[in-house]
Every structure is written in C-alpha cells, then in structure tokens.
Amino acid sequence: MSDNLVLVFDLETVPDVQAWAAATGLHGHAEKSLREQMGDKFPRQIFHRIVCLGALLADRGADGVWRATALEAPTLDQRGERDLIQDLVDRIDQLKPRLVTFNGSSIDLPVLRYRAMMHQVSAPGLAARRYFDRFAGDTVDLCDLLSSYDNHHRVSLHQLARVLGLPGKPEGVDGGAVEHLFRDGRHKDISDYCRSNVINTYRAWLRYELFRGALGEVEFAASEADFAAFIARAG
C-alpha cells in the first residue's frame, strides 16, 4: 500500500426492496408494498443499492504537497451498479492506495462488499489488504477517528465541514433525500451531493493531517491551494 496515494470515496444508496424481499421470503409483492413494509428505519447494509459512487484520487509529491488528480461521481443512469463497483475495485487493485472515508467503516465498505458479492465482482486487491479492519490504518475513517470510536461523540460530515469553514452539503439535499431524488430521476443532483461529500471529506482529511503533524503548515497551504485550482479546472 502506498502512503503517498489516497483514494477518497463515498457511496450514495437507496433501499434495495428486492434484496429485502429475497431475505424475508416476500417475493411476488408489488415494489411499492415491499417498500412500505421495509419501513423508514435505515436499512441494514446488505439491503442497500448503490446509485452513485464518488471517488477522488490524490498523490503526494516529493515536496510534500498533496495534489488531486481525478474526481468523479458517476450515477446509475450512466453505468450499471456492477460497473460502478468494478471500476472502483479495479482502481484499488491497480493503485493500492490508502482509502479515506467518512463513516465508511460502518456503511460504505460493508455495502461495497455485499454488493460486489451479489454481482459476482472479483476484488482481490480490496479483500487482500486490511481495508475492512477499522483499526489497521489502511482505511482512514474520519468519523471513527474524530469521535474516538465513540458513537456518542459522532458528528455528521456536514456539521464537521461547516465548523471547519468548508462548504458542506448542497442546500436542501442530504442522504435522506437520495431515494426521492432517484425516484424523480434527478441523477445529477445525486452526483453533485456525492461529489460534495468526497470534496469535504478530502479537505477535512487534509486538516486532520495538519493536526497530527503529517503535513506542515506550508505543505497544507499548498495542498489546499492546489485543490482549489483543481476544482476550478474541473468546473
């Protein structure tokens, strides 16, 4: 695994009523009826369907500055779920980066593993390293680290971003709205929301690296400036 390469990622999901029906033996019911029976409680990770997968790749140069090289958040209307997963795990297998997430150990990584298995995706690079071990360091989960692994001390990514002076999520959109946006065919809104999560996670991670002394003040400022220029170019 490279210490000078990070992949920041975030999933947006909707409840998978068909998976839930298979698990509960309720096949044959109308999808609307199944969704009502699932209720409003946040589903277990195995009952999530990935509708958007955002990823940002950044590497650290010899000067100690982190530079973003790629950012995308494709949605289910652009690629099938299997393709979204395959593209990500292939990149991880090829590059062997450190993963950076916000609450990824509890949500994103378990969902990714379940959906990869469901779609029969081979992901040896993801499985062979300790990405799923929340204490190993191969995955940096900012939600875990900043709360000291204590649920009572957890904050949302939006709360953290706003306190740090970062943009936070787009106005009027949050994770709870993704299902409704998906039903309405508003894929771009989902992509924009996912993209904002990835950006805020990356910038919060840079701040954490400064805090723990892995980045000096000069390198941090240069990393932030480079990222601002990257976003301006990306549009």
Q: In this predicted model, what pLDDT tens digit does every residue of 206-219 receive, in sequence order?
A: 999 999 999 999 99
Helix, strand, or coil (residue 154):
coil
The larger pLDDT score, comparing residue 144 to residue 176, is at: 144
* Cβ 47 vs Cβ 15: under 8 Å: yes
Confidence of residue 28 (pLDDT cuts 50, 70, 90): low
81: how many CB neighbours lie within 10 A of its CB?
Answer: 19
CATH 3.90.700.10 fits 5-234, yes or no: no
As a whole number, the mean pLDDT across the chain is 91
The count of other CB atoms within 10 Å of the CB of residue 160 is 20
* pLDDT recorded at residue 36: 67
Residue 143: what pLDDT? 96
Read off the DSSP letter of residue 103: S
117 contacts 131 by C-beta, under 8 angstroms: no
| Per-residue pLDDT tens over the stretch 68-111 | 999 999 999 999 999 999 999 999 999 999 999 999 999 999 99
Mean pLDDT of 168-174: 75
pLDDT bucket at 64, cuts 50 / 70 / 90:
very high
- Per-residue confidence at 203, pLDDT binned at 50, 70, 90? very high
Q: Check pLDDT > 70 for residue 33.
A: no
Pair 59, 7: CB distance under 8 Å: no
Torsion sign over Cα 44, 45, 49, 55: positive
Instruction: Please report, for the chain, the start and end positions of each structural domain, with discontinuous segments joined by +.
Output: 5-234
pLDDT at residue number 127: 84
Predicted pLDDT at 99: 96
Q: Measure CA 78 to chain center.
A: 18
Going by pLDDT thresholds of 50, 70 and 90, the confidence category of residue 35 is confident
**pLDDT tens digits, 115-137:** 999 999 999 988 878 898 878 88
